[in-house]
Amino acid sequence: MAALVALAQKAWSARQLLLLVLVPLVLLPLVFALPPKEGRCLFVVLVMAVYWCTEALPLAVTALLPIVLFPFLGILPSNQVCSQYFLDTNFLFLSGLVMASAIEEWNLHRRIALKVLILVGVQPTRLILGMMVTTAFLSMWLSNTASTAMMLPIASAILKSLFGQKELQKDPGRQGEENAAAVRRNGLHTVPTEMQFLASTEGGHAEESEVQLDLPADSMEEEEKEYHKNVWKGFLISIPYSASIGGTATLTGTAPNLILLGQLKSFFPQCDVVNFGSWFIFAFPLMLLFLLVGWLWISFLYVGISFRGWRKKKSELRADAENKARALIQEEFQNLGPTKFAEQAVFILFCAFAVLLFSRDPKFIPGWASFFTPGFISDAVTGVTIVIILFFFPSQKPSFKWWFDFKAPTTKTEPLLSWKKAQETVPWNIILLLGGGFAMAKGCEESGLSSWIGGQLHPLEHVPPVLAVLLITIVISFFTEFASNTATIIIFLPILAELSLSLFSYHQYLLL
């Protein structure tokens, strides 16, 4: 028995290597069971799908497999494969990532978040609303991950001010060493103090937690403790949820939206319905609706919303906690100091970025791109134009007197964003991931695999379109529980594009 357990442990430790070797061997019969070109392409697609879902290879590395496998298997020549990795859609997404780096560099996101929280108030339901609105707004222009990472430290500080933190009797340095040793011993990631509190109280063992509320235990009722714990949960859950919701409002908000745009251009070259402006008009109202429903649901579950509760007088404990939170938010906002020239410049360029993308070709009225040669100006041109300005626009207010003051220092003026900073902060792997999805779609189209799959799905032609959309939505939503949204969209969109040709006269309906 011991030998069997040891063998299982060894297999688990080497699971990535085993997947890399066994998955192609298991799927190899597909190459011979299907028509030659379609079978080879399906083999590559399924291998990449399994690697993406299991992360046997890093996601970006798996996205590079078409560059190797498609030419060797005779599916696509290398020049056609490699060109898919730098389409204009990729550059549109890249421009959004670089803009996010500039916003983060000058703490503009922090100023916006704190200002919104000051306006909405410090009651828990209002704070959750303020955090969700701010996170959703940032996520419209930045990636979901970046927006969440920016907002969590702010939420952490507010939670500490709401409930306080008892001074620990242990020496801080020694405690830090003990925590680090425990992390290494258990193979866990470092968890913030408030997350430790949640983890310890979720199972009903609050007495084992090292983090205690800054209130005497005998004076706090159980109901108040439970309320505090639920507010912690609601706060922390609201941020990633609102980031996911906000990312749906714009094309640059999340990678799947841009993958859809690229696939539409690949499968339906004459389709120019979807661009930044038309997508915003379609998705922004839905985003607001989902954000409202999400806020109401989180508030109902974790904070409690009742019309009678609004008329009740707040306890002294809650009133004191809210006063502390209000003071902390004001203090943090004051610590930012007056608005710097660089912040103003980044904000103006950010607004120009959004307005120019929206007004390029909004469809309901002629956009500014109509003044140029038709088809020459895309959203990528607009985004990259604004981004280039970030790399040379000065971060200090320019002065004409400096040129005539020969005693003035001749130090070099730093731009709003340096290339070194962009290299460090931009997640370049996502660009490769997008390219891998476009290369896969191109291979499916050129090999005839999409047509072959569409032929196998002919029985669905008799299914009502509304029911078909419902079934496909359920399947894909279930699939995203095990794989990333980006990988799921890359896998399913080529199949759905071919299916839409059979089921719908308006092909974009199913893909959306």
Asked whether the predicted pLDDT for residue 199 surpasses 60, the reply is no
* Cα–Cα distance measured from residue 451 to residue 453, given in angstroms and rounded to the nearest whole number: 5
**pLDDT single digits (tens) 53-73:** 888 888 889 999 999 999 999
pLDDT in tens, 440-458: 888 888 888 877 776 776 6
Task: Please provide the average confidence, as pLDDT, over all residues in the chain.
Answer: 77
Position 417 scores a pLDDT of 92
Tokens for 224? Answer: 């108040």
> Can you tell me the distance from the alpha carbon of 359 to that of 363, in angstroms, rounded to the nearest whole number?
9
Task: State the Cα–Cα distance between residues 89 and 261, nearest whole angstrom.
Answer: 7
Distance from C-alpha of 325 to C-alpha of 167, rounded to nearest angstrom: 19
Residue 290 banded pLDDT, cuts 50, 70, 90: very high
SS3 state at 137: helix
Rounded distance between C-alpha atoms, residue 224 and residue 418, angstroms: 49
What's the pLDDT score for residue 65? 93
What pLDDT is attached to residue 388?
A: 95
CA-only gyration radius of the chain, Å: 27
Q: What tens digit of pLDDT does each residue of 235-288 get?
A: 888 988 999 999 888 888 888 888 888 777 777 777 677 778 888 888 999 999
At 316 the pLDDT is: 66
* Per-residue pLDDT tens digits for 107-154: 888 888 888 888 887 778 888 888 899 899 888 887 787 788 778 878
pTM (whole model) above 0.75: no
CA-based end-to-end distance of the chain: 52
User: What was the pLDDT predicted at 418?
Assistant: 92
Mean pLDDT of 96-111: 86
Q: Residues with Cβ < 8 Å from 37, sequence gap 6 or more?
A: 74, 75, 447, 448, 449
**What pLDDT shows up at residue 309?**
45
- The two tokens of residue 76 are 């696509």
Q: What is the pLDDT, as a whole number, of residue 378? A: 85
pLDDT by residue (tens digit) across 328-365? 888 888 888 888 999 999 999 989 988 888 888 877 77
Q: Which two tokens mark 158?
A: 């507010």
Q: How confident is the model at residue 167 (pLDDT cuts 50, 70, 90)?
A: very low
pLDDT digits (tens, 9 = 90+) for 400-427: 776 676 666 777 778 999 999 999 888 8
Q: How far apart are CA 46 and CA 336, in angstroms?
A: 51
DSSP 61: H
Instruction: Yes or no: say if 352 and 386 are a contact pair by the CB < 8 Å rule.
Output: yes
How confident is the model at residue 307, as a pLDDT? 45
Alpha helical stretches, state H, 73-189: 78-82, 88-105, 108-120, 124-139, 144-163, 172-186
